[in-house]
A = this chain, B = another copy of it.
Amino acid sequence: MTVRLADAGDHIVLKPCIHDYQVNCGNCRLNSICLPLALESDDIEQLDNIIQRSKPLQKSQHLYREGDEFKSVFAVRSGAMKAYKTTDDGREQVTGFYFPGEILGMDGISNNLHASSAKALETAAVCEIPFTSLEKLSAMMPTLQRHFFQLMSREITADQQLITLLSKNSADERVASLMLSISTRNSKRKLSATQFRLPMSRVDIGNYLGLTVETVSRVFSRMQKLEILRVDNKEIKILDVQGLQKMANVGD
C-alpha cells in the first residue's frame, strides 16, 4: 500500500534529483526556518554571496568527519542528515538528526576541528556557509550576529533536552518524544505533522535515544497495538496525537 508523503503539495519533495542549484537565500522557501531574520534585502544578498551550494550528497555519504578541519557550518536544503560521534570502544552515538532549514557543524568552532561526523540519511543537498566569512559579516550585521548566537544557543538547549530525555525517561517516552519532535519540525516546514517517512533506520533511532534496536522495535509495536501510530516500516502515521503526547509524558 502506498502512502502520500506530504499533504501540502510540492513544498519540499524528499525525493532525489530535485535540487535547485539556482536557489538563493532571498527566494529559498526555508528561510523562515533557516534564517528567521528581519534582514534587509541588501543584507540577504550579502549573506547569499558567501554561501556555497554544492552538488547533493548521496545516501550515507559524509559531509564531514570527526577530526576534519573545521571551515564551515552547513544548512540542510533537502533530505536529512545525522550527526554522530564514535565512542572509544567503537560504538556510535547519534547526537542529532537535521532536516531542511536546520544548521549543523557548530560543534567544530571550539577547536577548529569537527567534534562529530555528519552523514546523509538519504540524498541531501546542503548550503555551505564558510565560517570566516560568516564571522566577518556578523561583525558588520548585528542582526546576523545575534541570529547566529541564537542558533548556537538553540543547539545547546536541544542538547539539554536530549540529556534530560536520556537521563529521566523510559524507552516509550523517548521514542514518543522523538516522533513528536519530528512531527513538529515537519509542520514548521509545511509538511504533514501526522504522516511522514522516517529517513533514519531503527539502529539510528536507538543510537540517538540510548536504546537497542530491539527495544525501539518493541516500542513501535506497542504504539501500534495501542493504536497511537500506524507503522509500516519507515512510514509513520500518527493516529492519536494526544495519546502520543501522553506516552511522551510531556506537560502541556
Known contacts A109-B150, A153-B110; decide if A160 and B250 are in contact (CB<8 Å): no
| Smallest CB separation, A58 vs chain B (Å) | 26
Residues on the B chain within 8 Å of A207, using CB: 167
Q: Does A247 contact B (CB under 8 A)?
A: no
Q: Is A149 touching B115 in the complex (CB atoms < 8 A)?
A: no
The copy count of this chain in the complex is 2
Q: Using an 8 Å CB-CB cutoff, how does the interface string of A139-160 with B read, 1 for contact, 0 for none?
A: 1101001101111111111011
- Give the dominant DSSP class at A's interface: helix
Q: Does A85 contact B (CB under 8 A)?
A: yes
Tell me the bound Cα distance from A85 to B138 in angstroms: 31
Give which listed residue, B111, B155, B168, contacts A91 with CB less than 8 A.
B168
Q: Is A85 touching B142 in the complex (CB atoms < 8 A)?
A: no
Q: Does A243 contact B (CB under 8 A)?
A: no
Q: Using an 8 Å CB-CB cutoff, how does the interface string of A116-141 with B read, 1 for contact, 0 for none?
A: 10000000000000000001001110
| Smallest CB separation, A138 vs chain B (Å) | 7
Residues on the B chain within 8 Å of A41, using CB: none
Q: Name A residues whose Cβ lies closer than 8 Å to a Cβ of B.
A: 85, 87-89, 91, 93, 95, 106-111, 115-116, 135, 138-140, 142, 145-146, 148-157, 159-160, 162-164, 166-168, 207, 209-210, 249-251
